[in-house]
Amino acid sequence: MRGRAGRVWVAGAVLASLVGASGCTSGGAAEPEGSVYKEGTLRVLASSELADMEPVLEQARRATGVTVKLTWSGTLDAAEQVASGQADGKYDAIWLSSNDYLRLRPEAAGKLSSETPVMSSPVALGVKPEALARLGWKPGEVTWPAVHEAVAAGRLTYGMTDPVRSNSGFSALVSVASGLSGAQAALSDADVKAATPRLKEFFAGQKLTSGSSGWLVAAYGKRGDVDALVNYESVLLSMNRDARGGGAPLTVVRPRDGVVTAHYPLTLLTSAPAGARDAGRALTDYLRGAEAQQAITGQTFRRPVAAGVAPAAGLDREKRRELPFPGSRVVADGLLASYENELRRPSRTVYVLDTSGSMGDGDRIGRLRSALTDLTGSGSSGTGRRFRDREEVTLLPFGSKVKEVNTHVVEPGNPGPALDAIRRDVKSLEPEGGTAVYGSLEAAYQQLGKGAVDAFTSIVLMTDGENTEGVGAKHFDSFYAALPEAQKRTPVFAVLFGDSDRKELTHITELTGGRLFDATGGNGSLAGAFEEIRGYQ
């Protein structure tokens, strides 16, 4: 939720087109966030899923002369930046899937100059054909209660992005909560409370979580035990077109009792210079024109907003009721907090931490201690700013070998003791010894194999160097190949730091289905990388 816009993470080639550096320029090289305004440019804080709009924005640049500089952000982080004034002077506009959450912040009202919907896409369910046949569903007749019934009976499993960090996940959470509560108006605390038992049953069927739609699709393609994905209709149809999910195309189902729809309003900020506001209006006019609208729907499978422009082939034209959004920030934040700490499956994570002698260089060990301490939060930490209730956190520091293994479980209603214990363990980390990367990873998998808890499992590897001690890559590859299938689904999220070997870490993440995050030099901070990984746990 506190995503830092200047952070960069590294993905595999299959995802490279979806997300890149935090400052991504249409028609030019990337520039750092917060660069000085230049005439003819528009600095935009945007949802990362809009990376697929780059070709259209290049067409817009040629037609209007407006160059768009995009900085990726999650909905809640963008709302905080705008409402707090942090966006003033850094950005001229925001372009998110929805401004609904932002409008719940009264202090944000004076920050927005204008907002214009550019396209739309409803939340939908993409279901494997065999699962659809097994359930006997007719796509046009499926309702959210029917989906819940199938999940609760153990007949349907699915993946969904993290609503605290992902626009699509937040919209999906609101869709499910509205659909299962039967709310006829804006969601209230009473609606969420009434639906909580069914929401718990629904989220027990979530087998994949992710901080981004791109990685969710890639992870889904590697799994054979996930029947469906909950995401924007445009993401699901693009996935089918690009065959990125593996196997037969998913059947896209829009529950007939209603959906939450993203309208992607291009929103100018009052703090933007006059020239930027003029550029924003020119860009908006172009994007809502017939030529751009046809390109948008054809290339991204989002629905056009201009009259007379037909939706792309494959887009069902039958209308669906728009499900109500929470009526207050308290309700929205309460729903997110419930998801984090009560509704979703708990997490089990092993942090494999390089505390070799080289971590004594500069302030490396200090940065590691600080980054991990940040994850313990404070008494006033908001949703997503500390380890979750029910989360099992294992710290596995290593040098020439594993130094110790300390596991803590954050107890609901009494998180203090576990969080304090984690802080003490982190404070005691000291640099010494060589670098036994692969042997320590094997120990992490063995540690996770001891538990039988139904949870999201992951391993976070942070190293500032290459493997110098113990077993090597071939041994680890053989070890991983011999793991039970269920354990092979535990991804390794590795962090590039100091002098770590990119090739070595890329091999580990690709083998295990994880992702590589970059915390070297100007590419991002170690604290930022750890925080970004939270969306995948």
pLDDT tens for each residue of 340-378: 999 999 999 999 999 999 999 989 999 999 999 999 987
pLDDT value for 319: 84
Q: Which residue has the higher pLDDT, 74 or 197?
A: 197
The span from the CA of 13 to the CA of 221, in Å, is: 14
- Torsion on CA atoms 28, 48, 210, 376, rounded to nearest 10: 90
pLDDT higher than threshold 50 for residue 52: yes
The span from the CA of 323 to the CA of 213, in Å, is: 22
Return the amino acid letter for 161: T
DSSP per-residue letters across 309-325: PPPPTT------PBPPP
Q: For domain 346-536, give the fold.
A: Rossmann fold (3.40.50)
Q: Is the dihedral of CA 289, 124, 509, 131 positive or negative?
A: negative
Which range is least confidently modeled, 48-52, 230-234, 261-265, 341-345?
A: 48-52
> Which tokens hold the place of 12?
């595999």
- Record the pTM: 0.87
* φ, ψ (nearest 5 deg) of residue 145: -60, -35
Query: For residues 112 and 269, is the Cβ–Cβ distance under 8 A?
Result: yes
Q: Which residue ranges make up each domain of the chain?
A: 8-117+265-301, 121-261+323-336, 346-536
**Average pLDDT of the chain to the nearest whole number:** 89
The span from the CA of 203 to the CA of 339, in Å, is: 9
Q: How confident is the model at residue 27 (pLDDT cuts 50, 70, 90)?
A: very low
The domain made up of 121-261+323-336 is a member of CATH 2.60.120.10 = no
Query: For residues 191 and 181, is the Cβ–Cβ distance under 8 A?
Result: yes
Q: How confident is the model at residue 309 (pLDDT cuts 50, 70, 90)?
A: very high
Nearby residues of 225 by Cβ (< 8 Å), 6 or more positions away: 157, 207, 489
Biggest CA–CA distance in the chain, Å, is: 68
Q: For domain 8-117+265-301, give the fold.
A: D-Maltodextrin-Binding Protein; domain 2 (3.40.190)
Q: How confident is the model at residue 382 (pLDDT cuts 50, 70, 90)?
A: low
Triad 60, 65, 69: Cα angle to 5°? 70
Closest CA to 121 of 286, 324, 304, 244: 304
pLDDT value for 221: 87
Task: Report, as an integer, the average pLDDT of 285-307.
Answer: 97
Q: Do domains 8-117+265-301 and 121-261+323-336 have the same CATH topology?
A: yes
Q: What confidence tens digit (pLDDT) does each residue in 454-508 have? A: 899 999 999 999 999 999 999 999 999 999 999 999 999 999 999 999 999 999 9
Closest CA to 459 of 474, 477, 473, 444: 444
